[in-house]
Amino acid sequence: MRSVLIAAIAATVLAASPASAKGCLRGAAAGGLAGHMVGKGHGVMGAAAGCAVAHHHYAKKAAAARKH
């Protein structure tokens, strides 16, 4: 249930700003791999967390580029 909720939140974040999808995909790949290495069942949670973190990073970077 928790992984479904996390995936839904990640999908909502992607829908809000499709320009940062590349960052989310990169973060999801890295987070999924890290979660897989931690143990069984953690890949999905790692991918969702990686997507959220990378999306936030790229959104901040884009906002800073627009500001200058």
Q: What is the pLDDT of residue 1?
A: 62
7 has a pLDDT exceeding 80 = no
Domain boundaries, the chain: 2-67
- Distance (Å) of CA 17 to CA 2, 11, 42, 54, 58: 23, 10, 26, 13, 11
pTM higher than 0.85: no
pLDDT value, residue 63: 85
Query: Per-residue pLDDT tens for 10-62?
Result: 666 665 555 556 778 888 888 888 988 988 888 888 888 888 888 888 888 88
